[in-house]
C-alpha cells in the first residue's frame, strides 16, 4: 500500500513541470425573449413566451504540453415574465471539458452551444432546456466536422420512464463550396419501475443525410442544403415498425444585419406515435406531423455589437392543415474572461454539424 502511494506522489511531482498555465475562467450568457404565436392548431396552440434566461458559469482551466482541462460550475435561471413570477426553473451547469488539438470532450451538465434542427429539438424545447445532460464529443479538421452527444434527460422511477437519446452529426467539404453531412439519432423510452400492464419500451430513430452548398462570402452569405429524412419508430408491444420518410431542404441568406431562411418538408407524419407519447418521446416541432410543411424566417438585427444582439424575427408556418404566424423580439448578451461574443446569428445555424 505504501509503495502505491509513493508511486502516486512521484508520478504527480514528475507531471507538475508539464503544467504550462492555470487560470480562472468565467462567462455570462443572458437571453430575453418575447415570442407571440398565433394561428396554430391543437398541436401547436396559440400562446406567448416571454422570459429571461441567465446562465453564469465559473471555473478553473489548466493547460499542459498536451491538452487543456477545464472544470466549470454554475446555473441557468429560466424566469417567465408574469405578475406572480412563478413557473421559474433553475438548472445547474456542472461539467468537465478536455480539449486537445482538434478534439474536445465534455461530461456533465454541458451547455448546448448550437441550436439543433427543429425536427429534433423544437423552439419551445430549446427555451427551457439549455443543457445536454451527459457527454458531448467534438472533432474537426480543415474540411470536416463531427459531433456526438449523449443526452440522458430522464431517470427511471416509479412515476417516470427512463429516457435518453444519442445524436451524431457531421459534415465534409469535398469542394470549397460543396459538401455532404447530416444527422442521425437514436431515442429511447424505457418502462417505469413496476410498470402497469401494457407499458412497453419505445424506440425512435432518425436519419437525415444531406448535401449542402455554402458560398463562404463574407458580404452575402448563402447556404442551402437538401436531403432525405427517415424516421424509425416502434412500440415494442405492437411488434411493428413505423417508417415515415420525406424530403427536407433549407436555404439561408445573410446580408449585413438582415437574414432570411426557408425550410421545406414534404413527406409523411414524422411522429406516428405522438398521439400516444407526445413530447416525452418526440422532442421535435409538431408541425412535422404534416405531409407538407414550410417555415419562413425573416430576421433584422436592430443592435449587433461585440456583446449584444437585439433582433426582431417574423416567422410564418404553413402546412396542409393550418398556418401559424410568430412575432419574436430577442436580446442576447454574452461576455467571458476574454471579452468574446458568442455567435448568435443564423450564420451559426447554417452548419449541418450542431
Domain count, the chain: 1
Is residue 247 situated within a structural domain? yes
- Residues whose CB falls within 8 Å of the CB of residue 338, separated by 6 or more in sequence, listed in order: none
Boundaries of domain holding 113: 23-349
Is residue 256 situated within a structural domain? yes
pLDDT of residue 2: 52
Is residue 36 situated within a structural domain? yes
Is residue 6 situated within a structural domain? no
Q: Comparing C-alpha atoms, which of 6, 126, 113 is closest to residue 334?
A: 113
pLDDT of residue 16: 46
Q: What DSSP state is assigned to residue 44? A: S
Is residue 3 situated within a structural domain? no
Is residue 14 situated within a structural domain? no
Instruction: Give the pTM.
Output: 0.85
How many CA atoms lie less than 13 Å away from 71 in the CB half-sphere?
A: 3
Which residue ranges in the chain fall short of pLDDT 50? Answer: 8-10, 12-14, 16-18, 343-354
- Looking at the DSSP bridge assignments, the partners of residue 66 are none
pLDDT of residue 308: 92
pLDDT of residue 258: 95
pLDDT of residue 3: 59
Q: Give one DSSP letter per residue of 227-274, joined into a string.
A: EEEEEEEEETTTT--B--EEEEEEEEEEETTEEEEEEEEEES-S-TTH
Question: What CATH number does the domain containing 336 carry?
Answer: 2.40.160.10
pLDDT of residue 9: 47
Is 194 in a helix, a strand, or coil? coil
In angstroms, rounded to a whole number, what is the distance separating the alpha carbons of residues 191 and 202?
9
Is residue 11 situated within a structural domain? no
Is residue 8 situated within a structural domain? no
CB-based contact 341:303 (threshold 8 Å): no
Amino acid at each position: 500500500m505504501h509503495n502505491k502511494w509513493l508511486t502516486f506522489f512521484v508520478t504527480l511531482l514528475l507531471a507538475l513541470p508539464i503544467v504550462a498555465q492555470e487560470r480562472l475562467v468565467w462567462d455570462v450568457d443572458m437571453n430575453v425573449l418575447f415570442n407571440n404565436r398565433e394561428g396554430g392548431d391543437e398541436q401547436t396552440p396559440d400562446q406567448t413566451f416571454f422570459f429571461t434566461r441567465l446562465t453564469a458559469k465559473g471555473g478553473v482551466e489548466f493547460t499542459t504540453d498536451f491538452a487543456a482541462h477545464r472544470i466549470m460550475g454554475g446555473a441557468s435561471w429560466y424566469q417567465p415574465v408574469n405578475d406572480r413570477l412563478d413557473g421559474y426553473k433553475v438548472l445547474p451547469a456542472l461539467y468537465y471539458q478536455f480539449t486537445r488539438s482538434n478534439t474536445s470532450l465534455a461530461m456533465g451538465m454541458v451547455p448546448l452551444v448550437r441550436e439543433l434542427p427543429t425536427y429534433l429539438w423544437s423552439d419551445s424545447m430549446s427555451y427551457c432546456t439549455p443543457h445536454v445532460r451527459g457527454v458531448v464529443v467534438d472533432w474537426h479538421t480543415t474540411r470536416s466536422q463531427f459531433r456526438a452527444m449523449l443526452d440522458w434527460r430522464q431517470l427511471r422511477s416509479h412515476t417516470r420512464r427512463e429516457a435518453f437519446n444519442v445524436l451524431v452529426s457531421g459534415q465534409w467539404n469535398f469542394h470549397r463550396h460543396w459538401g455532404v453531412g447530416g444527422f442521425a439519432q437514436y431515442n429511447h423510452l424505457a418502462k417505469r419501475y413496476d410498470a402497469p400492464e401494457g407499458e412497453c419500451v419505445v424506440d425512435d430513430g432518425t436519419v437525415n443525410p444531406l448535401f449542402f452548398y455554402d458560398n463562404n462570402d463574407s458580404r452575402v452569405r448563402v447556404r442551402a442544403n437538401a436531403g432525405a429524412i427517415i424516421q424509425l419508430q416502434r412500440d415494442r408491444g405492437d411488434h411493428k415498425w413505423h417508417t415515415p420518410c420525406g424530403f427536407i431542404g433549407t436555404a439561408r441568406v445573410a446580408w449585413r444585419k438582415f437574414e432570411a431562411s426557408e425550410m421545406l418538408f414534404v413527406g409523411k407524419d414524422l411522429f406516428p406515435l405522438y398521439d400516444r407519447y407526445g413530447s416525452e418521446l418526440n422532442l421535435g416541432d409538431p408541425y412535422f406531423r404534416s405531409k407538407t410543411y414550410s417555415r419562413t424566417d425573416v430576421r433584422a438585427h436592430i443592435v449587433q455589437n461585440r456583446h449584444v444582439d437585439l433582433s426582431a424575427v417574423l416567422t410564418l408556418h404553413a402546412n396542409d392543415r393550418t398556418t401559424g404566424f410568430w412575432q419574436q423580439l430577442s436580446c442576447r448578451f454574452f461576455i467571458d474572461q476574454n471579452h468574446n461574443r458568442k455567435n448568435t446569428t443564423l450564420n451559426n445555424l447554417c452548419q449541418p454539424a450542431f
